Structure 1
């Protein structure tokens, strides 16, 4: 390898190693007195309404397709 290629390869490796070092994160310390975080969003009636609308739309499309 010529010196130019070695310099480019060294520079690329240096940048990649820098990214890996920055990507390491330190987790927060666990506090025994702090309650656990709440669970994710609940699945409410909105999902059932959306499924009903989708079912109605699908049935109407199927009926229109059969009429043609």
Structure 2
């Protein structure tokens, strides 16, 4: 029984190795392409940081207040 199990383990490992080695020939990288449009140096990209930052700040304050309230209830 041990011989059959070791034979199957060896054959599956060998088959997996051949599948990986054969599949490596099919994988090809994509060409560099055009690189996309160039950004205009006179007009910087607008990023709305304020909206997300204020929401994160409000969520942090609310979470802190909840933790303080829970801590006071336990006493």
With the length of structure 2 as denominator, give the TM-score of the two structures.
0.46
Q: Normalised by the size of structure 1, how large is the TM-score?
A: 0.48
